[in-house]
Amino acid sequence: VITHNQSVSLGLSYNCPNIFLLLATAPRGPGSFFHNYSMRGARVTLSYRFYPLKNTEAPKGFFFGPYFSYNFVKIAEKPAGKSYILVNYLNASMVTGYQVIHKHFSFEIFGGLGYRNNFEINYDSRLNQFSQSALPQILYLGNFKYVKIIAQINFGYAF
């Protein structure tokens, strides 16, 4: 909380294969994806929130403001030092949402629109060469390929 109606939020997380992905990739052992590749990365988020309603005190209630995130995952061949792909997600959005804090437990839901620049950097160790390309779109948006639609639900513990 910065003032009675403003706050800043910073988030950090570590990316690795989750349990559902590990269970879905069978068979395991020599020749499987996770035997031949490693996946590691991180995510950083930063948001500024303004609580415009007079009866609302930060960090509870209706809010809006900018939301930035950068997420990367390095998918590398094993052993280390060989070819890899670095997947990057860079997003800047304007969001609106609502947060509830009961005792120390927090629940929030927010959504919005913004800009995205998702790309990958490939390194081919055989050619000692880097290349960069845009990531394919799951949802075809035509001329709006840089439009980010965000929807998020968070649960947490407020200190």
Among the listed residues 63, 60, 151, 152, the one whose alpha carbon sits nearest the alpha carbon of residue 106 = 60
Backbone angles phi, psi at 145, to 5 degrees: -65, -15
Cα(145)–Cα(119) distance, rounded to whole angstroms?
12
Cα(80)–Cα(71) distance, rounded to whole angstroms?
21
135 sits in the region (left: phi over 0; alpha: psi -120 to 50; else beta) called beta
Report strand pairing: 129-134 vs 147-157.
unpaired
pTM given for the model: 0.74
Cα(71)–Cα(42) distance, rounded to whole angstroms?
6
pLDDT in 10s for each residue of the chain, 159 residues:
898 899 998 889 888 766 655 555 555 555 555 566 778 899 999 999 999 988 877 788 999 999 999 999 888 877 666 778 888 889 999 999 999 988 889 899 999 999 988 888 887 777 777 777 765 555 555 556 688 889 999 888 776
